[in-house]
Structure 1
Amino acid sequence: MSNANKKKSSNAGTMLKNFFLQSWSSAVVAIVLLILIFSTTTNSFLTQYNLFNLSRTAAVYAFIAGAQLMVAVIGGMNLSVGAVGALSSIVLGTAIQDMGLSTPVAIILTVLVGAICGVINGLLVVKLKLSGFIITLAMSFIYDGIATGVSHGYAYSLTENFTALGRSRVGPTSGLFIIMILFVVLLAVFFRNMRFGRNILATGGNESAAALSGIRVDRIKIACNAISCILASVAALLWASRTGTAASSTGQDWMLYSFAVCAIGGISLNGGNFTAVGFFCGSWILTMIRNGLTMMNVDIYYEQAFLGAIILIAVSIESLRTRVAEKMR
């Protein structure tokens, strides 16, 4: 083998090694495999209409996962993501249908309710010194109970000007997908370039060291819980805009989806890290799996079992990749 060929082979090996060392590498490989599998086993997976629907769903999943992400990066969890989404939906429906408020006012009110829920969660975690698991589990029952009690299980109809965004097209993709792209870029800038974002990652990496360095850990926890529930409210707004209705059934599966996207995207649930590429890929992977299983006529009643198995496989692969990567460094 000539020196030129050896150099090319060495460069290719180095690039492959550097790619494998990235936490998002597993998610990128998974997306490629899923596209190949579903495009060859179904006839309509890559059609323009299906891609449009995929982009809308992936956008909503990104905000659902973003709600979990904001507490996962500090080593916590928010089990009330779905319940806050349900309560936000009911607030939105009540504001538009029953109170006759304008769309902008209803949106502001909905996001405000999400912020209040988040602040309550954060204050309880900080003041009671209890695990976020316990606090948000208890609060999820409260928020969900309020949503069901107010609506009595009925769905609210929304105006056409509100649903216009969820059904809009921007070229071959959807308006919601453009919002998703902006959201992921904002997260990347926030955690990499903004002091507050870096303080959050530092808190998740080592809370004691962060406190000793002057970071106000309690304020970080309250802020992260508030942002988490705000994003859950935004997800509820996008979901309602996509479906055209607001109901207390919104968010029933969101807790699973929020953890799934983070886990599949290579984001550690122990805190301290964030990868924009992995987060973006995780949202798409979950969307494609659900869509692909439906197109392959997989019994819908087994869907949750398949999703759970795929999450377990994804986490196991990432764990294996991490161990191998540590030995390769």
Structure 2
Amino acid sequence: MSTETAARPRAGALGARAQGLLGQNGTLVALVLLGVVLAFLSPVFLSPQNLLNIGVQAAVVAILAFGQTFVIVSAGIDLSVGSVAALGGIVTGYTASTMGVPPALAILLGVLTGVACGLVSGVLVAYGRLPAFIATLAMLSIARGLALVLSGGVPLNQPPAVAALGQTIGGWLPVPVVIMAVFGLLAGFILNRTYPGRAMYAIGGNEEAARLSGINVRRQQLIIFSLAGFYSAVAGLVLAGRLASGQPQAATGYELDSIAAVVIGGASLAGGQGRAFGTFVGALVLAVIRNGLNLLNVSSFWQQVAIGVVIALAVLTDTLRRRRA
């Protein structure tokens, strides 16, 4: 066999490997290119303070999106994450400021409220056989309504421990960025190193095959939606810390941003595919676009158009990828 003939398979293998790496990290490449373009357009973009601002802006959406990743990987969708986040912050503020509950217990009650909301959605999906879209749409309305009922439609004071979540460490490192990193690593560990994580991919790939292989699909669906509720409540507390109060209308529309971050990060809406790191990069892409357009004095109306175009392109890319597969 000639050297040229032997080199062809190797070149083909390297090309396929490079294409696979690009497919897995295409969003990261796009983020870097976007950053380079914005750095040329605005000298302020790469300043340390602005980069930290981008991290803070991405934090709440990223934490919500990590929880959303669990659901989307398992071929579901959770429309309630924004409302559950608001309810978690309201429950914490209400129990601490109105009922006089100790701050630590108030925070725990806020987090448990998110878990309970997720568990109810999971029960509706697993045992009520409702589509996840319908079950979580109902929870969206329920959680937002409860937030308005408990707060009376007005902001509630938060205990100092929650307010500290919106501050900085050492005067420069924002706490929301640290929390985002910790919960991102936790999401990656759950997806890659635990039985529930592997079950998410199996259920998303083929629910019936997962059931026949011995996976208790109903139990795993309860875990999946409970985790999404847990992450939503944590995001709600971080947002309450940033706003220095519990807002009943907080996180409105964030459910769409969380879905967008997951899809932009390379997850498939058909299920069975997605990574925590990809979701993190997807949330950064959204934050960078908004931040860059603000620096360029682009109207917020056009910012919504730009985000919509990015989401459409991400979903189109996923559709074309699945067709080729």
Task: Verify same fold: TM over 0.5.
Answer: yes
Question: Per the alignment, in what secondary structure is the counterpart of residue 164 of structure 1?
Answer: helix
Q: Which residue of 2 aligns with 1:229?
A: 229
Distance in 2 of aligned mates of 1:196 and 1:251: 28
Pairing 1:98-109 to 2, within 5 Å after superposition: 98-109=98-109
Q: CA RMSD in A?
A: 2.3
Q: Which residue of 1 aligns with 2:314?
A: 314
Pairing 1:1-329 to 2, within 5 Å after superposition: 17-22=16-21, 23-169=23-169, 173-320=173-320, 326=325
Question: Per the alignment, in what secondary structure is the counterpart of residue 245 of structure 1?
Answer: coil
Deviation at 1:258, TM superposition (A): 0.9
Deviation at 1:270, TM superposition (A): 1.4
Distance in 2 of aligned mates of 1:183 and 1:19: 30
The aligned length equals 318
Distance in 1 of aligned mates of 2:142 and 2:186: 32
Code of the residue aligned with 2:19 in structure 1: it is F
Cα 1:153/1:175, change in 2 over 3 Å: same
Question: Per the alignment, in what secondary structure is the counterpart of residue 271 of structure 1?
Answer: coil
Query: Structure 1 stretch 52-61 or stretch 32-41: which is displaced more?
Result: 52-61
Deviations 1:1-27 (A, max 9, x none): xx9xxx9xx77x866642432443220
Distance in 1 of aligned mates of 2:201 and 2:171: 36
Query: Structure 1 stretch 161-170 or stretch 293-302: which is displaced more?
Result: 161-170
Distance in 2 of aligned mates of 1:135 and 1:321: 29
Distance in 1 of aligned mates of 2:101 and 2:15: 55
Contact 1:26 1:318 in 2 (8 A): no
Deviation at 1:317, TM superposition (A): 3.5
Code of the residue aligned with 2:284 in structure 1: it is W
Code of the residue aligned with 1:18 in structure 2: it is R
Deviation at 1:304, TM superposition (A): 2.0
Contact 2:66 2:276 in 1 (8 A): no
Which runs of 5 or more structure 1 residues have no equivalent in the other structure?
Answer: none
Code of the residue aligned with 1:284 in structure 2: it is L
Deviation at 1:250, TM superposition (A): 1.0
Question: Per the alignment, in what secondary structure is the counterpart of residue 165 of structure 2?
Answer: coil
Cα 1:58/1:17, change in 2 over 3 Å: farther
TM-score normalised over the length of structure 2: 0.90
Which runs of 5 or more structure 2 residues have no equivalent in the other structure?
Answer: none
Contact 1:55 1:173 in 2 (8 A): no
Code of the residue aligned with 1:21 in structure 2: it is G
Question: Per the alignment, in what secondary structure is the counterpart of residue 87 of structure 1?
Answer: helix
Query: Structure 1 stretch 277-286 or stretch 312-321: which is displaced more?
Result: 312-321
Question: Per the alignment, in what secondary structure is the counterpart of residue 271 of structure 2?
Answer: coil
Distance in 1 of aligned mates of 2:223 and 2:286: 28
Distance in 2 of aligned mates of 1:14 and 1:170: 49
Deviations 1:201-228 (A, max 9, x none): 1111111111111110011111111111
Distance in 2 of aligned mates of 1:85 and 1:287: 19
Deviation at 1:52, TM superposition (A): 1.5
Distance in 1 of aligned mates of 2:15 and 2:93: 51
Cα 1:170/1:265, change in 2 over 3 Å: farther
Code of the residue aligned with 1:305 in structure 2: it is V
Contact 1:56 1:242 in 2 (8 A): no
Code of the residue aligned with 1:124 in structure 2: it is L
Contact 1:19 1:25 in 2 (8 A): no
Identical-pair percentage:
36
Question: Per the alignment, in what secondary structure is the counterpart of residue 177 of structure 2?
Answer: helix
Question: Per the alignment, in what secondary structure is the counterpart of residue 286 of structure 1?
Answer: helix
Code of the residue aligned with 2:259 in structure 1: it is F
Structure 1 residue runs of 4+, over 3 Å off? 13-17, 169-173, 317-324
